[in-house]
Chains A and B, each alone.
Chain A
Amino acid sequence: MTTTTAASADSGERTVRKDSPGAARGPRRTGRIRRIGLPYLLLLPALLLELLVHLVPMVIGIVMSFKELTQFYIRDWGTAPWSGFDNYKVSVDFSAPVGKALLHSFLVTVGFTLLSVGLCWLIGTAAAIYMQDTFRGRGLLRALFLVPYALPVYAAVITWVFMFQHDNGLVNHVLHDQLHLTDKPSFWLIGDNSFYALLVVSVWKGWPFAFLIIMAGLQNIPGELYEAAALDGAGLWQQLRRITLPSLRPVNQVLILVLFLWTFNDFNTPFVLFGRTAPEAADLISVHIYQASFVTWNFGTGSAMSVLLLLFLLVVTGAYLLLTSRGRKTADV
């Protein structure tokens, strides 16, 4: 039974109108709508669209992964011959070229994602904590820090492409001409350096989101906690370890999961940075699957790779949620 007691909203800083006419409420039951169909009616548009943009494509994607779907069958993919698990076998046969490249791309993506999420979280947290109390220019700085997040991906990344140019880019100009750190101008968008180029762009673009979320989380920590801790003689470092970080735990759990999924699935950044074929050192999985499908025109294998990727993400997310919820339970005890 849904009772109004569920609305025990701790209206901390909320600005909801509080003038609900408590006296004129009358008996509870009269006001409740008991039409069973209503929730389904409200859900109908969402259900239809979810069906259209998610469920049907997913089923088709899974079907496709069991077919020999090359460019000859694109116009009428239903007639493509069944191939059983062949597409999967090709994808996970790590001794053959296709599987080897997929494994390599997967490992690059995992390494890249861990580094990028870690750095985004670290910079975002540090910035949010440094800006927790007010000082002159704080508002301006906050707005500035959100600019990389607000810029459209292609506009931001294309600027980085310009900066990473071999002959006329800022990065080589600073590192080589001005600081003399390198013997000769480096290539950033091809070869092994491309991994770092991608990482820098990804962190530049991603850390403000962590900053935004952690700032929001910090606002929910009651100031009395810090005052009490200060009275007890706790230094800043102790306050950070004993109050700030533990209070941010639930926020961080959501944040890190979201950052992980976004970074792992990111297509836009590497695609604008490198084009349709990424250099080996920065061959993220999304671009890899895109290339397997739309450049080499093998949609069957591309679909099998997508399904494998999805399974991996499901397992990781499930494990993460299990671990963090268990962690939360033991922390409460």
Chain B
Amino acid sequence: MAPPNSFLWSRRIFLTLLTGFVLVPVYVMVSSSLKPLADVSGKFRWVPSGLTIRPYIDIWSTVPLARYFVNSLIVAGAATVCSVVIAVFAAYAVSRYEFRGKRTFTVTVLSTQMFPGILFLLPLFLIYVNIGNATGIALFGSRGGLILTYLTFSLPFSIWMLIGYFDSVPRDLDEAALVDGCGPLGALFRVVVPAAIPGIVAVAVYAFMTAWGEVLFASVMTNDTTRTLAVGLQGYSTLNNVYWNQIMAASLVVSVPVVAGFLLLQRYLVAGLTAGAVK
């Protein structure tokens, strides 16, 4: 039963326009990153006047991009690992046990999801400054402090998603493992976690992406040595010149790992979202 022609045509037109909307910025990013500076400073041209890979060489020396890259990698990686591990335990407790305060806990976690980041920025800023003054531990400006703040976004989301995902793993499976002599942690790691891998991957991808793309906390809570990519890219605009070709090249270099990872793992993300958010 083929759909009618009018449907096919409206689909073609809609999807073509949408593809254009999605791809134009991507094209601008890629093509401009290969243009000489004179070309990106003048009128925009769809077709570059000359191709050069110079921007890809210069980006590393104009700003310390490699250092920012490493900082971002450490901060986003650590925030991801922490929030996933902690969320796995918490979600298992909520999904499999009855205990007092369960509702309060889930409602609190759910509601912190909707708090604006700006709400935590000022207090965390002051806490870090005060801890620094009192104990000499420099949380403010350190990677550790940034990792801690990133858990404000990723932890509630991870717990929330994983509860939904663990709920969809049949209880028969881990109860059988308990009967067979596993401890509760054994049941969690041998049965529930393997069965919930798509959900866990989805949560990890999400946590990593938010940390990798975060700007607000990164711009307030970092200094010269701990700066992440989110803030570092601003270094390509100087008083005299905006190196648009280098900005585009750096944006592309920064994006490729996350976009590739995301597209590779998107199957899991869709499966995880289905179980966690849709049900």
Contacts and interface: CB of A to CB of B under 8 A. Distances in A.
Partners in one complex: yes
Interface stretch (B48-56, B58-66, B120-128): B120-128
B86 A46 contact: yes
Interface SS majority for chain A: helix
Interface string B74-116: 0000000000011101101110111100100100110111111
Contacts of A2: 96-98, 171
B100 to A, nearest CB: 9
Contacts, number: 316
Contact of B116 (A6, A30, A306): A306
20 contacts: A7-B171, A21-B180, A39-B102, A50-B109, A53-B120, A78-B130, A126-B14, A141-B15, A145-B19, A153-B213, A154-B230, A163-B24, A168-B43, A169-B44, A216-B273, A271-B219, A293-B121, A306-B122, A309-B116, A314-B111
B251 A168 contact: no
B175 A50 contact: no
B47 interface: no
Contacts of B168: 9, 14
A36 B109 CA distance: 22
Interface size band for A: 35 or more
A163 B46 CA distance: 12
Interface of A: 2, 4, 6-7, 9, 11, 14, 16-17, 20-22, 24-26, 28, 30-33, 36, 38-40, 42-43, 45-47, 49-50, 52-54, 56-58, 60-61, 64, 74-78, 123, 126-127, 130-131, 133, 141, 143-156, 158-160, 162-163, 167-170, 172-173, 177, 204, 212-213, 215-217, 219-220, 230, 236, 250-251, 254-255, 258, 261, 264-265, 267-268, 271-272, 285-286, 289-290, 293-294, 299, 302-303, 306-307, 309-310, 313-314, 317
A76 B133 CA distance: 9
Contacts of A32: 175, 178
A70 to B, nearest CB: 13
